[in-house]
Structure 1
Amino acid sequence: MITEKTITDFIYREAELLDTMQWQVWLDLFHPEGRYWMPLEWQQQDPVLQPSLMYEDLLLLKVRVERLAGERTFSQKPKSRCHHLLQAPQIVACDTAAGVFRARTSYIYTETRGDMLERYSGWASHDLVQVGDALKIKLKRVDLVNFDAPFGNIQLFM
């Protein structure tokens, strides 16, 4: 049975996987139809007809992970590292009968590579579905506070 604690533990575990660069295990958290979305506008509703910072399906996520893990990826020497500082996730929807769940989490995210340090703040929304006894990410939406600022290359995943 999926409980609110199951959902919050899932979100904390996802952040830990990203922080420890366990890319393949992180990818395994996604539903085959899962998406990773970073809107370009405040309260943006459409990732397809409006431009986004990122809108990636599982195939694109796998390509990015392969690039990050590759030995010949010279733009990742030294490798980027990250840290997620999360507030307690707020459970927005918990429909155990339908196996559909949603949570929203405020965060501060730090990404570093060499002597460069970037810090971002925002909210991560997780739309989760139950597959067997496990949760899978159907949509991870990352809304930045400063969505309209000029950005350098965001190398990792928030």
Structure 2
Amino acid sequence: MELQHRVEQFLYAEAELLDNHLYDEWIALFPEDALYWIPSRQTRPIRERDLEVSRLDETGFADDTIGMLRGRVRRITSGIQWSEEPPSRTRRLLTNIRVDEQPDATVLARTNFFVYRSRLERHQDWFVGERFDTLRPVTGGGFPYCIAERKIVFDQTTVLAPSISIFL
């Protein structure tokens, strides 16, 4: 119960950083060897369900290292990224958080998410799916974990949003 609560509070605090556009604080949650990826999804028959979500070496929406993530943060915070100027308004809802502590003290966390994005006066998008996080414990600082790996799997096969310019 304590581990579950600690992980939930960490993930809620991370979502709050993003919703409040605190990208420099958010990127500090990732270590130097971090991986942030969003595979693509295809509709497949039941017998091919294991092929529905692309593998890491296949096509996807994002396959970012820490350097690439920092570049995305710089573009968003500079005001020159047209798809986020003015910035989107977002709300992240996290639910069904399942945690599994590993023998090496890392934690595997599976989280269902709903991210609502509102842009300009009338544009609205939503992203729905499941996140798979590998969290490493850290000592010192304000957060108990860093996000070593994040895999984001959309429920949608076709993402109808004009861009995925926000972090999920």
1:85 corresponds to = 93
Sequence identity (%)? 22
2:137 aligned with 1:127: no
Out of 70-79 and 134-143, give the one that drifted further: 70-79
CA deviation map 1:94-148 (0-9, x unaligned): 13x5121011111111112102110111011111112335311111111100034
CA contact under 8 A between 1:38 and 1:52: conserved in structure 2? Answer: yes
Stretches of structure 1 that go unaligned for 5 or more consecutive residues are: none
Query: Which secondary structure state, in structure 2, belongs to the residue aligned with residue 50 of structure 1?
Result: coil
The answer as to 2:106 corresponding to 1:71 is no
Task: Choose between structure 1 and 2: higher strand proportion.
Answer: 1
TM-score of the aligned structures, taking structure 2 as reference length: 0.82
CA RMSD of aligned residues (A): 1.8
**1:80–1:155 Cα contact (<8 Å) kept:** no
Instruction: Tell me the secondary structure at the aligned position of residue 31 of structure 1.
Output: coil
1:126/1:137 contact within 8 Å kept: yes
1:34 aligned partner: 34
Q: 1:56 aligns with which of 64, 86, 101?
A: 64
Deviation at 1:24? 0.7
* Structure 2: stretches of 5+ with no match in the other structure: 42-51
- Between stretches 82-91 and 24-33, larger displacement belongs to 82-91
Shift of 1:77: 2.8
